[in-house]
Amino acid sequence: MKLRQLSLFLENRPGQLKLPCQVLGQAGIDILSLSLADTQQFGILRLIVKDEDRARRALEQAGCVVKVTEVLALEVADRAGGLAEVLEAFERSGLSVEYIYPLSAGHRGKTAVLAFRVEDPDRAVKLLAENGVRVLSREEAFAAMGA
Amino acid sequence: MPLATENRIWDPAETLPRDELAGLQAERLRGTLARVAQNRFYREALARARVEPEGIRSPDDVRRLPFTVKDDLRENYPLGLLTVPRAEVARVHGSSGTTGRPTFVAYTRGDLERWSGLCARFLVAGGLRPEHLVHVAFGYGLFTGGFGLHQGIERVGAGVVPAAGGNTPRQVMLLRDLRPEVLVCTPSYALHIAEVARAEGVDPRQLGLAFGHFGGEPWTEQMRGAIEQELGLAAFNNYGLSEVVGPGVAGECGARGGMHVSEDHFLVECLHPVTLEPAREGEVGELVFTSLTKEAMPVLRYRTRDLASLDRAPCPCGRSGVRMSRVVGRSDDMLIIRGVNVFPSQVEEALLRVEGAAPHYLIEVARPGTLDEAVVKVEIRPRNFSDEMRQMVELRDRLDHEIHSVTGIRMKVELVAPNTLARSEGKARRVIDHRTERR
């Protein structure tokens, strides 16, 4: 039910983003989705790949600090108000969202798939189900990203 | 404060009343001056300072003597500062020469005897008993640590495992199989032993160690806590340097409120590193030692570059020797930032408080306009890295706050990627001062 996201620490200076992308490229690992958070001085790169363990090893061997965190893939209706409906369910469940980024849009015509980072993913899956929101399986999420 | 071990005193001289001690020191200082007069370097230095042995009335007269520095030993390489005939030399030790040409020190048979007794003092003060077995993981060789401690342990009548340095898995095996009660090494190596033990599937707390005597490098109270936690022993600090004698210059008693200097053998001064005036009571300054009993290569007012404070308040253990604090830094490392004295060790302590173990860091000081600006670059470590920006910003703010509370000044904290700060020969460069580089 959960995706394993790789997070990397990056210094905010030229060339820092290229290194991990190059490492994954040389390892033949495709980046399915990513999000980049930054401050003036440093940034956090979050990556979704299919072969997380191999990607992690390759990145760590290249000297990167990598953290694996679990995120939830949720399907959202791709229309005005679609995300608000899902967030409504979060609110009813008493869950707070740390961050969101898109995994794919236009999937199956009218849906988008987003990655949600919450504090306790297992508890969130249960509470969201009770509130009528289904969390995509790993396979479904990868399929949505065309992998 | 409860004592970390039963108070036992090895040598009655450790409790000599202060007035008797002063008399003994003055007498022995006259002896040292007579001895160094055998050497041309000292004879000329004393003549320039116009000091005669007969003019020494009290230990305070040491302030009239000229200083000795490391370069004096280098310039008189290898044994130019010898004060006895070469035939009387029983042992030569030396410094590693990590910061320049190596230097040698020499001992007579009598020096070795006294040195063993000095090591026995702090070992016994820190729990060593004749029935114990001691694992010594100091290097045996020119470095004074191995042989110095070894002799002290034998003097006490305890058993020694001369494990020496290196091959940590083998050290763990020796500790597990021989079950010594006492461990002797550098504090950082003690933590390394614990780490390797765990990796080998041995619980370091189950090794049966009761006491540890650690020295040879500066360390912190936080590190003491970590060592005691990891190895399940009571950790004691000791101090010494080869130019003065080696280990045995000072060591902790069971109260562990500073290290008692063996003042019947060494005169200690604590001086402001720039003005060389005596530091105020309790204030950090550079430690300066004068030999009182050393025969082969005594030193006059040797500037150690080690920064510490002295506490003259009576100690509950009954020893009369003044207590020196931990070494908080090296006078060569002292930075003056916006008029405030700052030591890299303070920054390290702040990082330790936040992170639990010191990460690699670099302090950069510059003066872009009229004011000094200091930046501390801290390498991020996997255990402190979070995918949430909020927590990373919090980590940086906590580092910022601790550095301010320890040093008293604001330094900008920058988180940097691991292994990006330069390391040279295992020793990390801690400070880059752009102000001096531009001059």
Q: Note the pLDDT tens digit of each residue in B23-65.
A: 999 999 999 999 999 999 999 999 999 998 888 999 999 999 9
Give how far A40 is from chain B: nearest CA, Å: 10
For a pLDDT cut of 90, what percent of chain B falls above it? 73
Range scoring the smallest mean pLDDT among A37-46, B129-138, B154-163, B230-239: A37-46
Average pLDDT value for residue range B72-98: 91
Q: What is the pLDDT of residues B114-136, one digit of tens each?
A: 999 999 999 999 999 999 999 99
Q: pLDDT tier at A107 (50, 70, 90 boundaries)?
A: low
Give the nearest partner residue to A67 out of B387, B415, B416, using CB atoms.
B387
Q: Where are the alpha helices (DSSP H) in A27-120?
A: 52-61, 82-93
What is the structure's pLDDT at B427? 52
Average pLDDT value for residue range B278-285: 90
Mutate to test the interface with B, among A42, A46, A61 (most CBs of B within 10 A): A42
Q: Can you name the CATH fold of B334-438? A: GMP Synthetase; Chain A, domain 3 (3.30.300)
Q: Is the pLDDT of residue B78 over 90?
A: yes
Give the nearest partner residue to A65 out of B385, B393, B414, using CB atoms.
B385
Which residues of chain B make contact with A10, given a CB cutoff of 8 A? 417
- Cβ of A41 within 8 Å of Cβ of B420? The answer is no
- Cβ of A37 within 8 Å of Cβ of B419? The answer is no
Which residues of chain A make contact with B415, given a CB cutoff of 8 A? 9, 11, 41-42
Q: What is the pLDDT of residues B408-425, one digit of tens each?
A: 899 999 999 887 887 654
Q: What is the pLDDT of residues B208-256, one digit of tens each?
A: 999 999 998 888 888 899 999 999 999 999 999 999 999 999 999 999 9
The CA distances from residue B35 to A54, B26, B56, B94, in Å, are: 70, 14, 14, 22
Token pair of B411 as six digits: 């330094």
Cα B342 from Cα B337, distance rounded (Å): 7
For residue B266, give the nearest of B239, B229, B292, B241 by alpha carbon. Answer: B292
Q: Is the pLDDT of residue B99 over 80?
A: no
Token pair of B403 as six digits: 């550095």
For residue B364, give the nearest of B380, B350, B347, B351 by alpha carbon. Answer: B347
- Cβ of A11 within 8 Å of Cβ of B381? The answer is no
- Cβ of B417 within 8 Å of Cβ of A63? The answer is yes
For residue B159, give the nearest of B184, B120, B130 by alpha carbon. Answer: B130
A40 interfaces chain B, CB cutoff of 8 Å: no
Average pLDDT value for residue range B269-284: 90
Give how far A8 is from chain B: nearest CA, Å: 8
Torsion sign, CA atoms B208, B213, B214, B220:
positive
Q: pLDDT tier at B327 (50, 70, 90 boundaries)?
A: very high
Give the nearest partner residue to A39 out of B393, B418, B420, using CB atoms.
B393
- Cβ of A9 within 8 Å of Cβ of B419? The answer is no
Give how far B419 is from chain A: nearest CA, Å: 7
A11 interfaces chain B, CB cutoff of 8 Å: yes
- Cβ of A65 within 8 Å of Cβ of B382? The answer is yes
A64 interfaces chain B, CB cutoff of 8 Å: yes
Q: What is the pLDDT of residues B177-193, one digit of tens each?
A: 999 999 999 998 999 89
A12: left (phi over 0), alpha (psi -120 to 50) or beta: beta
Q: pLDDT tier at B439 (50, 70, 90 boundaries)?
A: very low
CB B174 within 8 A of CB B161: yes
Q: pLDDT tier at A51 (50, 70, 90 boundaries)?
A: very high
For residue A101, give the nearest of A51, A35, A57, A38 by alpha carbon. Answer: A35
What is the structure's pLDDT at B283? 87
Which residues of chain B make contact with A7, given a CB cutoff of 8 A? 385-387
Q: Is the pLDDT of residue B351 over 70?
A: yes
- pTM of the entire predicted model: 0.69
Range scoring the smallest mean pLDDT among A18-32, B225-239, B285-299, B348-362: B348-362
- Cβ of B387 within 8 Å of Cβ of A41? The answer is no
Q: Which residue has the higher pLDDT, B341 or B162?
A: B162
Q: Is the pLDDT of residue B437 over 60?
A: no
Cα A7 from Cα A43, distance rounded (Å): 10
For a pLDDT cut of 70, what percent of chain B falls above it? 95
Domain-by-domain residue ranges, chain B? 12-16+105-332, 334-438
The amino acid sitting at B92 is V
Which residues of chain A make contact with B389, given a CB cutoff of 8 A? 37, 39, 44, 99
Give how far B380 is from chain A: nearest CA, Å: 8
Give the nearest partner residue to B385 out of A9, A39, A98, using CB atoms.
A9
- Cβ of A67 within 8 Å of Cβ of B414? The answer is no
Q: Can you name the CATH fold of A2-69? A: VC0802-like (3.30.2130)
Q: Is the pLDDT of residue B426 over 50?
A: no
Average pLDDT value for residue range B420-438: 69
Where in chain A is CATH 3.30.70.260?
Answer: 71-144
Note which residues in 128-147 of chain A have CB less than 8 A from chain B.
none
Q: Is the pLDDT of residue A123 over 80?
A: yes
Q: Where are the alpha helices (DSSP H) in B280-433?
A: 344-355, 389-407
Phi, psi of A106 (to 5 degrees): 75, 15
Range scoring the smallest mean pLDDT among A132-146, B179-193, B348-362: B348-362
CB A9 within 8 A of CB A44: yes
Give how far A44 is from chain B: nearest CA, Å: 7
A44 interfaces chain B, CB cutoff of 8 Å: yes
What is the structure's pLDDT at A8? 95
Average pLDDT value for residue range A80-97: 92
- Cα B26 to the chain's mean position, in Å? 26
Mean of the per-residue pLDDT values for chain B?
92
CB B168 within 8 A of CB B198: no
Average pLDDT value for residue range B268-284: 90
Q: Is the pLDDT of residue B341 over 90?
A: no
Q: What is the pLDDT of residues B389-403, one digit of tens each?
A: 999 999 999 999 999
A67 interfaces chain B, CB cutoff of 8 Å: yes
* Domain A71-144, second-level architecture: 2-Layer Sandwich (3.30)
Give how far A48 is from chain B: nearest CA, Å: 13
Mutate to test the interface with B, among A2, A4, A9, A67 (most CBs of B within 10 A): A9
Q: What is the pLDDT of residues B10-25, one digit of tens each?
A: 999 999 999 999 999 9
* Domain B12-16+105-332, second-level architecture: 3-Layer(aba) Sandwich (3.40)
